[in-house]
Structure 1
Amino acid sequence: MGQTLTRFALLGFGWLSLFLGFVGIFLPLLPTTPFLLLASACFMRGSPKIANWLLQHPHFGPIIDNWQRNRAIDRRIKRRANVFIVLSFALSIALVPALWHKLMLLTMAVVLLIWFNRLREIEPVARAPENT
């Protein structure tokens, strides 16, 4: 009974994280990658079949695989993420009227960019077939 409840909770959190990660593709300030990694972790413990499906996904799979194997992010994805982080925060800062909101968003952007850019990068060449 306890294992079944744990499995359902993990599946529920996994699907919720996957949904939030998908929504994060389109909404600024909602991060996609952390939700995908959380979904993958939940599915690995709750349903290896769904975890495998997510790992085989053509767009999300390589991101998760790089993180699981190397604790690193592909350089191209990191560059793209930096651009979208800056654009989404710039848009948000431009739209909010209060100065303290602008300062808070600017502080959040700086902290996020510092943390994110400190993550290790993996060279795209490392995944080339001749290197594996």
Structure 2
Amino acid sequence: MKIIYITLGFIFFGLGALGAVIPVLPTTPFLLLASACFARGSERFERWFTATKLYKKYLETYYENRSMTRKTKASLLTLSTTMMLLSLIAMPNIYGKIFMGGMIVFLYYYFFFRIKTIKEQAEG
């Protein structure tokens, strides 16, 4: 099972790295998935992952103090809301639509009230 987690970790890491240069592809969600997979798969790969520039730029502040920059929150909410709205529109079942609507409300609640917003740090 560990080999599956490690493999998934590298796939998600690759997608997250692509997302750092391709504006349409999200970075943070893929890096979060990579982090979770590496944590379950291998302590060595988890240490490697947490030492990468991508981790430090996109995830370190979130893991340290459960906070994100306004830019990170906006990009995550934009992508998530778009995907959820597409699902909501395509959903034929009224209960599915209600569920997706509830998920969108919860997403915004969580991002606005449970994750602190911090200022961008100047790189230097």
What interval of TM-score do these two structures reach, taking the shorter chain for normalisation?
A: 0.5 to 0.7
Quick one: distance in 1 between partners of 2:105 and 2:75?
Answer: 17
Name the residue aligned to 1:81.
Answer: 76
Quick one: distance in 2 between partners of 1:99 and 1:45?
Answer: 44
CA shift, 1:42, in A, is: 4.5
Structure 1, unpaired ranges of 5+: 1-7
SS at match of 1:97: coil
CA shift, 1:77, in A, is: 0.9
* Pairs aligned (count): 114
Change (3 A) 1:48 1:79: closer
Name the residue aligned to 1:32.
Answer: 30
Instruction: Report whether the alignment pairs 1:15 with 2:7.
Output: yes
Task: Give me the CA root mean square deviation.
Answer: 3.4
Instruction: Report whether the alignment pairs 1:107 with 2:102.
Output: yes
Quick one: distance in 2 between partners of 1:106 and 1:17?
Answer: 30
How high is the TM-score relative to the length of structure 2? 0.66
Name the residue aligned to 1:119.
Answer: 115
Name the residue aligned to 1:91.
Answer: 86
Larger radius of gyration: 1
Instruction: Report whether the alignment pairs 1:72 with 2:72.
Output: no
Quick one: distance in 2 between partners of 1:18 and 1:52?
Answer: 13
Structure 2, unpaired ranges of 5+: none
How high is the TM-score relative to the length of structure 1? 0.63
SS at match of 1:121: strand
Aligned-partner residue type, residue 84 of structure 1: L
Identity %: 17
Moved >4 Å (runs of 4+): none
* Cα deviation 1:43-94 (Å, max 9, x = unaligned): 77233563256x223xx54112222333311210101111222221111111
